[in-house]
Amino acid sequence: MKQYSMIAKAVCIGLLASSSSVVLADDAKLDMERIEVVGKHHRDVGATGLPLAIGDTPQSISVIDREFMDFHDINSIGDALTHSAGVYSETSLDSRERFVFARGFEMNRFLIDGMGTAARANQATMLDTSVFETVEVIRGSTGMLQEIGQPSGTVNLVQKRAYNGTGGYVTAEYGSWNKMRAEADFNTTLTDSGSVRARAVVALEDMDSFVERYNADRKTFYTTLSADITDALQVSVFASYQDDGQTAKSDGLPLQFANGDPIEIGIEANIYPDWGTQDSTQDSLMGELRYQINSDWSVVAKLYQSTTEENKVYTALDWHPAPNGDYAVFTDVKDADYESDRAELGINGQFDLFGQTHTLNVTVADTNFEELNYQYNPLSRVAGNLAAEHRNESPEPKPAKPDYNYDNPILRTSDIGSQSARAALNLQVLDNVNVLLGANRKEVTSYSNIVGTITDKEFSDTSLYYGGVYKVNEQVTVYASYTDIFDQPLHYDKAGKLLDPVRGENQEVGFRFANSENTLSVDVAYFDITQENFPVVAGKDANQNVYYVGQSGIKSEGYEVEVSGYFTDQWFASLSFSDTDVSNPNENEGRVSRVVPEKMASFSTFYEFDSLRVGGYVNYAGEREGFTGFGPIYDYVPVDSNVLAGFSAYYEFNESLSAKFNIHNLFDKEYDAKIAFISVRPGDPRNFSAQVTYTF
Residue 543 — very low, low, confident or very high, per pLDDT cuts 50/70/90?
low
- Rounded Cα–Cα distance for residues 342 and 49 (Å): 16
Task: Calculate mean pLDDT across residues 339-349.
Answer: 94
pLDDT tens for residues 477-507? 999 999 888 877 777 788 778 788 888 898 9
Which is higher by pLDDT, 141 or 589? 141
pLDDT for 587 equals 61
Residue 47 — very low, low, confident or very high, per pLDDT cuts 50/70/90?
low
Q: Which of 36-50, 53-67, 182-196 has the highest mean pLDDT?
A: 182-196
Residue 10 — very low, low, confident or very high, per pLDDT cuts 50/70/90?
very low
pLDDT for 139 equals 87
pLDDT for 592 equals 62
Helices (H), 334-434: 386-389
pLDDT for 631 equals 66
Which is higher by pLDDT, 245 or 29? 245
Which is higher by pLDDT, 543 or 446? 446
What is the Cβ-side half-sphere exposure of residue 272, based on CA atoms within 13 angstroms?
29
pLDDT for 32 equals 30
Residue in 467, 359, 469 with CA at minimum distance from that of residue 50:
359
- Rounded Cα–Cα distance for residues 17 and 565 (Å): 8
Q: Is the pLDDT assigned to residue 317 strictly greater than 50?
A: yes
Residues 584, 554 contacting (CB under 8 angstroms): yes
Residues 646, 74 contacting (CB under 8 angstroms): no
pLDDT for 27 equals 33
Residue in 504, 466, 468 with CA at minimum distance from that of residue 482:
466
pLDDT for 544 equals 64
pLDDT for 12 equals 32
**Residues 6 or more apart from 580 whose CB is under 8 A from it?**
86, 103, 104, 556, 557, 558, 596, 598
Task: Calculate mean pLDDT across residues 68-76.
Answer: 96
3-state secondary structure 189-226: ECCCCCCEEEEEEEEEEEECCCCCCCEEEEEEEEEEEE
- Rounded Cα–Cα distance for residues 524 and 478 (Å): 9
Lowest mean pLDDT among 136-140, 394-398, 410-414: 394-398
Which is higher by pLDDT, 295 or 119? 295
> DSSP labels for 258-326?
TTS------TT---S-TT--EEEEEEEEEEEEEEE-SSSEEEEEEEEEEEEEEEEEEEEESSPPPTTSE
Residue in 376, 383, 344, 451 with CA at minimum distance from that of residue 113:
344
- Rounded Cα–Cα distance for residues 102 and 591 (Å): 14
Q: Is the pLDDT assigned to residue 470 strictly greater than 50?
A: yes
Which is higher by pLDDT, 593 or 519? 519
pLDDT for 588 equals 58
pLDDT tens for residues 13-35? 232 232 322 233 333 333 333 32
Task: Calculate mean pLDDT across residues 424-441.
Answer: 92
Residues making up the chain, counted from first to last: 696
- CA–CA–CA angle 680, 683, 689 (5° rounding): 150
Residue in 445, 468, 577, 485 with CA at minimum distance from that of residue 15:
577
Which is higher by pLDDT, 300 or 39? 300
For residue 36, the 8-state DSSP code is H
Q: Specify the 3-state DSSP secondary structure of 440.
A: strand
Residue 589 — very low, low, confident or very high, per pLDDT cuts 50/70/90?
low
- Rounded Cα–Cα distance for residues 600 and 605 (Å): 17
pLDDT for 537 equals 75
- Rounded Cα–Cα distance for residues 648 and 70 (Å): 10
pLDDT for 30 equals 31
pLDDT for 483 equals 87
Q: Is the pLDDT assigned to residue 173 strictly greater than 70?
A: yes
Residues 4, 13 contacting (CB under 8 angstroms): yes
Which is higher by pLDDT, 503 or 283? 283
Q: Is the pLDDT assigned to residue 126 strictly greater than 90?
A: yes
pLDDT for 546 equals 75
Residue in 694, 598, 605 with CA at minimum distance from that of residue 655:
694
Q: Is the pLDDT assigned to residue 542 strictly greater than 80?
A: no
The mean pLDDT of the chain is 87
**Cα 23 to Cα 43, 53, 58, 559, distances in angstroms:** 10, 6, 14, 22
Which is higher by pLDDT, 548 or 358? 358
Residues 263, 252 contacting (CB under 8 angstroms): no
Q: Is the pLDDT assigned to residue 41 strictly greater than 50?
A: no
Q: Is the pLDDT assigned to residue 37 strictly greater than 70?
A: no
Lowest mean pLDDT among 55-64, 85-94, 343-352: 55-64
With a pLDDT cut of 90, the percent of the chain lying above it is: 64
Residue 49 — very low, low, confident or very high, per pLDDT cuts 50/70/90?
low
Residue 38 — very low, low, confident or very high, per pLDDT cuts 50/70/90?
very low
Q: Is the pLDDT assigned to residue 259 strictly greater than 60?
A: yes
> DSSP labels for 344-363?
EEEEEEEEEETTEEEEEEEE
Residue 106 — very low, low, confident or very high, per pLDDT cuts 50/70/90?
confident
- Rounded Cα–Cα distance for residues 273 and 391 (Å): 16
Residues 644, 602 contacting (CB under 8 angstroms): no
Lowest mean pLDDT among 78-92, 389-403, 410-424, 618-632: 389-403
- Rounded Cα–Cα distance for residues 300 and 344 (Å): 8
- Rounded Cα–Cα distance for residues 311 and 249 (Å): 13
pLDDT for 528 equals 95
Task: Calculate mean pLDDT across residues 516-524.
Answer: 91
Using a cut of 0.75, tell me whether the model's pTM lies above it: yes
Kindly state the helix (H) or strand (E) to which residue 187 belongs, with its residue range. Answer: strand 179-189
Residue in 459, 370, 460 with CA at minimum distance from that of residue 415:
370
Lowest mean pLDDT among 41-50, 300-309, 521-530: 41-50
With a pLDDT cut of 70, the percent of the chain lying above it is: 89
**Residues 6 or more apart from 382 whose CB is under 8 A from it?**
315, 328, 329, 331, 399, 400, 402
Task: Calculate mean pLDDT across residues 551-574.
Answer: 93
Residue in 235, 299, 248 with CA at minimum distance from that of residue 278:
248
